[in-house]
Structure 1
């Protein structure tokens, strides 16, 4: 783990926390030994750290623009990419190596490590870690990215299609870590389904898939 700590630029006083943060549920179902609870905590720490960062970096932007920047910085794909940059994929402990390349798992592990750091070194240590590594992802010279739902609304209008409708079609997972499934429907097209940790994220995911279905580019 020394090489990983070198990548993180942080030494864990409690090595069990780091080990737990890297342990997939397929390896053990014990909550005290897998990353589920740490992921729950780290997700919240990540959110606070990124929210504070965009609030301070963009003092003149309204809430809507800050929200768009925030969503782009904490979405599954961004966090999974950060996990790869930190080399976390090489240390995940799971029954199958396939999970090492799964965005959902990479995102969860990254957040679990942040949660473990919060418990080991304190709130400010974890926040500083997040802000130092996410800061290069913030671009102060461009407009905030349009979210997928906004782009889909505009694309539907331009194509003469009705406005998109979003319908919840299911929910699964543990109470503290649910996964929502939302479906976006536009008359005259094939409905698309998306998933996320809350309804808003699931809607965004569904909108991204509909944009792809319609052939509309959506840069993250």
Structure 2
């Protein structure tokens, strides 16, 4: 099987030359376009989730030899969660090469966080099946890059922490309001405001709403705590 020029360019962005190109095609095929002769990426996504988890667990252990399990767990969760996978997918233009059915395409499937995250995990599995664990590990470490070293020492959910802060002071849960959306459909940028009923507010911008919400919650917590 020979890949199209578009998929060859995508494979080049991955930095992996497929010996079995049908694996890449399958990793990029959503269930909305599957058929008996065109399998979708769900099984690969299942496998890729486990490969990603092992790579990140190893990387975090190697990066901090003194961290406790309680410290490692939130860092791990921050690196493998759906939002992070989707963010990596956007950086390599994965949405542009997704194989979608017409209805999914018309509803903006190329921009959907869940579809991007699932396909990113499927691509990891495709590389693993094509060339083994070391190749998959190299891919993940290359694509996640600085995220691994920069993951917060305490990567707990900032939105949860902000809600706990508000409840402890008798305030209503924070509200998250979309202030602006900019950029092309395949790479949008969202500006979100985190607001408390006492008037405190912080804004942040990111490539996904949840990321912007988390960033805004983090900024507001930092201000409130001093």
Per the TM alignment, residue 135 of structure 1 is displaced from its structure 2 partner at its CA by 2.9
Which residue pairs with 2:144 in the alignment?
134
Rounded to whole Å, the distance in 1 between the matches of 2:144 and 2:44 is: 20
1:93 alignment counterpart:
99
Are 1:68 and 1:146, in contact at CA under 8 Å, matched by a contact in 2?
Answer: yes
Aligned residues: 176
What per-residue deviation string (whole Å, max 9, x for no partner) do you get for residues 38-73 of structure 1? 000000000000111111111121111111111111
TM-superposed deviation, 1:213: 8.0
2:26 counterpart (20, 45, 49): 20
Give the alignment partner of residue 8 of structure 1, picking from 14, 21, 31: 14
Which aligned pairs between 1:33-182 and structure 2 lie closer than 5 A? 33-95=39-101, 96-97=104-105, 98-140=108-150, 143-148=153-158, 151=161, 154-160=164-170
Tell me: CA distance 1:129–1:31, structure 2 relative to 1, closer, same or farther (3 Å): farther
SS of equivalent to 1:34: coil
Structure 2 segments unaligned to the other structure (5+ residues)? 1-6, 175-193, 203-212, 219-226
Q: Find out whether 1:218 has 2:211 as its counterpart.
A: no
SS in structure 1 at match of 2:19: coil
Distance 1:134 1:31 in 2: 33
Gaps of 5+ in 1: 162-187, 191-211
Contact map agreement 2:23 2:126 (CA 8 A) in 1: yes
Aligned to 1:196: none
- Shift in alpha-carbon separation, 1:189–1:6, aligned structure 2, 3 A: closer
Runs of 4+ in 1 over 6 A off after TM superposition: none
Q: Give the conservation status (yes or no) of the 8 Å contact 1:46–1:130.
A: yes
